Amino acid sequence: MMSQSTTVILKDNWRFSKEVKGDAFSTDYDASKWEKVSVPHDWAIYGPFDKKWDIQTGIIEQNGEKEATEKTGRTGSLPHIGTGWYRNVFSIPEFRKGKKALLVFEGAMSEPQVFLNGKKIGNWGYGYSYFFIDITNDLIAGSENVLAVKLTNEPFSSRWYPGAGLYRKVSIVVKENESFAQWGTFITTPDTKDNNAIVDIKAEFHGSNVSMVTEIKDAKNKLVATQKSTETEDGKFHQTISVGNPHLWSPETPYLYTAVTKLFAADGSLKDEQNIKFGIRYIKYESNKGFSLNGKVTKFKGVCLHHDLGPLGAAVNKAALKRQLTILKDLGCNAIRSSHNMPSFEQLELADEMGFMFLAESFDEWAKPKVENGYHRFFEEYAEKDIVNLVRATRNHPCIVMWSSGNEVPDQYGAEGLTRAKFLQDVFHREDPTRPVTVGMDQVKQTMASGFGSLLDIPGLNYRVHLYEEAYKAFPQGFILGSETASTVSSRGIYKFPVVQEKNKQYDDLQCSSYDLEACSWSNVPDDDFVLQDDKSWVIGEFVWTGFDYLGEPTPYDEKWPSRSSYFGISDLAGLPKDRFYLYRSRWNTKDNTLHILPHWNWKGREGEITPVFVYTNYDSAELFVNGKSMGIQKKNNATPQNRYRLMWNDVKYEPGTVKVVAFDSNGKIAAESTVKTAGDPYKIVLDADRKTIKADGEDISFVTVSVVDKNGIPCPTADNELQFKVTGAATYRAACNGDATSLEIFHENHMKLFSGKLVVLVKSIKTAGKIQLEVKGNGLQTGKINLKAEL
């Protein structure tokens, strides 16, 4: 009889409550009045926004602060503090006597305590960790089981919005006693040459007198190699399998193979089977040469990403992640740093499939605290276990090309920090000898003096562009990684005058200028990093802070209210590109041309005043026209970093009408044109979906960009009309987001104001196929409608 592992995802039938009296873990507890939810779930994202939720008073040392101040929006001003309970009554027909069962959590925020059938069966510390519990002796076969999970978010436990609840998947894995160990198979490709690749497979298992057969299949499911093993060592099978003419994995060609590993008993019966996707690729980090992928020197054009998904909060959603990566692909981005915690499995799967290299990070704190109730409370007990689970659960993803054991940890100071850095790096090396380890360092002078930076496989510098040369000479590795760069701040579609480069600039409206010349005291504008990336071969790339805005950390307004999300993103919280998107795209996207004009051209009351025009383009020169009159030709030059990467007409005076830019190729011939026009009054609502067809799986989402145009179809860049949303058919209205860091409008309510003329509506499928319509209305505006559909 055939038998193998079965995974049951506990998605539905959950009950949730924060108002709990009595023993919520007991089997006879009445939870019928609790809220019905599905998991992944974030209890806090539904708001309301209020500065009272987690006001933190303190000194942010990594920001150079000397005095304690009140931080009102630091953790997103959403109600994530407190205790929440989840309960699920379920049965597992696949489980019976003689089998084993594991309960797997991919993320539980925070400090989960887990109860099954009235008994506490386990707990964990870190809310970002994956972990599993063996429930073989506690799961009742052929009957209902009661799972209860208690989660506690302490105040002062995070520096950003952490989310709350079972925000990633929960599942039960049922296995035979003779089976592969959970996360116990490690696939590497140690040798690729002469049109041949070696695939190395080490597989831990339970049982005796078993054999393993591996079939390697290509992307078309064609069998390309197979091997059978009967000999084992230390509870592991070890196979080296040759694959001829391999397709190599890279961001440009993200080719994936599948290893089907089968475990057979002595009588020939199948006991377990795994299907593991992997990529054939080889990486090197070399002194003075840098990073190479498949023998080709490659620079990281990367972004840092927090785990929240804007209006969805921390609850993981594959459609939202895929949309982010699609936007980043158009940007020309080739790498992602999970900041400052373990990435979701879904994000790594998409990075494999879509072609993004990955820096998988573990911790924001070690033993020394940044916040009162941070990870330092768990470090001694959990650090090794957390790294082991991170590595074992994700190491088969070809996208991961390095690990990070920490970010700006206060332990950068002193001998203890050096010991901890070595300890953590050694754990990574033990679990995965194939990838190097970095730490995002902000105390660069200190790490030069102490040996901390020299110890690391990869010295990662967070900002400190003025110290790159000195660090390169001080550290023995022969290269530097910009592990966190820029932290330029801007608000989409908002422009401030006069246009000057400034640090920590604040305005009465709590917005930042989108001329992309404003940064924080400790950070810089993009062009400063571009110079290092382009001129220094030993700088191996950068990870920009951040690819998208995120909830919390509203620097430079973290002491002001209302301000509850970041300004750092290349795209805003709704995923709409800021001007800065096109500055990076003009460098990073080498396949497509970029020609972008800023600012918008609706400046009633500024007639005759200086209103500089910037153009972000991959072309070296262009001519600007205002209402047909030439403002002259600008050519990129090395006078300043800005002149090198931007075309700037700093003396243009505003007059309503048309701004046109004409770009020239290297031969001086016209290559492309772009225009921006002054819009009249808002007249009509326009809808544009990222996908018109979605899956009828209850999870898929179409992201519809909503904008307003005048009677001539010209976008209205300053419109702030309040709009109402209605979804009919085979979908539901899920949320909206306008990218305004100061907006206290609740995401899941069916109305919201435009910000800089735009917002995004999320339409979520149900489990029924059919037609869908989104209708958007606004007072005095022509209604917008769009037809979508859901397919099984």
CB count within 10 Å of CB 5 equals 20
| Sign of the Cα pseudo-torsion (573, 574, 579, 583, in order) | positive
The verdict on whether 745 is a catalytic residue reads no
Distance (Å, rounded) from C-alpha 777 to C-alpha 755? 16
The packing angle between helices 579-588 and 526-535, to 10°, is 10
Distance (Å, rounded) from C-alpha 488 to C-alpha 571? 12
Token pair recorded at residue 124: 């964990």
Query: Of the residues 178, 346, 408, 518, which is catalytic?
Result: 408
How far apart are the two ends of the chain, measured CA to CA in Å?
Answer: 32
Strands (E), 283-399: 283-286, 290-293, 296-297, 300-305, 335-338, 357-361
Q: Tell me whether strands 670-677 and 658-664 are parallel, antiparallel or unpaired.
A: antiparallel
Distance (Å, rounded) from C-alpha 348 to C-alpha 671? 38
Among all chains, which residue has been given the structure tokens 């916040």? Answer: 371
Q: Residues in the chain, how many?
A: 792
Query: Of the residues 484, 623, 699, 745, which is catalytic?
Result: 484
Distance (Å, rounded) from C-alpha 730 to C-alpha 707? 24
Torsion of CA 619, 624, 630, 632, to 10 degrees: -60
Among all chains, which residue has been given the structure tokens 């005043």? Answer: 609
**Beta-sheet strand order (sheet of 145-153):** 35-37, 14-17, 82-90, 145-153, 113-116, 119-123
Question: Following DSSP, what letter does each residue of 685-739 receive, concatenated?
Answer: EEEEES-SEEESSS--EEEEEEEEE-TTS-B-TT---EEEEEEEESEEEEEEE--
Distance (Å, rounded) from C-alpha 390 to C-alpha 616? 39
Tell me the β-bridge partners of 243.
197
Question: Following DSSP, what letter does each residue of 655-666 receive, concatenated?
Answer: -SSEEEEEEE-T
Given a contact cutoff of 8 angstroms between Cβ atoms, the answer to whether 680 and 750 are in contact is no
Distance (Å, rounded) from C-alpha 422 to C-alpha 439? 11
User: 242-245, long-range: CB within 8 Å, 24+ apart, which pairs?
Assistant: 242/196, 242/197, 242/198, 242/199, 243/196, 243/197, 243/198, 243/199, 243/216, 243/280, 244/195, 244/196, 245/195, 245/196
Given a contact cutoff of 8 angstroms between Cβ atoms, the answer to whether 324 and 311 are in contact is no
Q: What angle do CA 729, 730, 734 make, to 5 degrees?
A: 95
The verdict on whether 408 is a catalytic residue reads yes
Q: How many helices (H) and strands (E) does the chain have?
A: 10, 48
Residue 757, helix vs strand vs coil: coil
Distance (Å, rounded) from C-alpha 548 to C-alpha 308? 10
| Sign of the Cα pseudo-torsion (75, 79, 82, 85, in order) | negative
Token pair recorded at residue 521: 């005291």
Q: CA dist 205 to 6, 198, 307, 765, Å?
A: 16, 22, 33, 40
Q: CA dist 500 to 234, 387, 513, 573, 599, Å?
A: 65, 45, 10, 25, 14
Distance (Å, rounded) from C-alpha 340 to C-alpha 306? 7
The catalytic residue positions are 408, 484
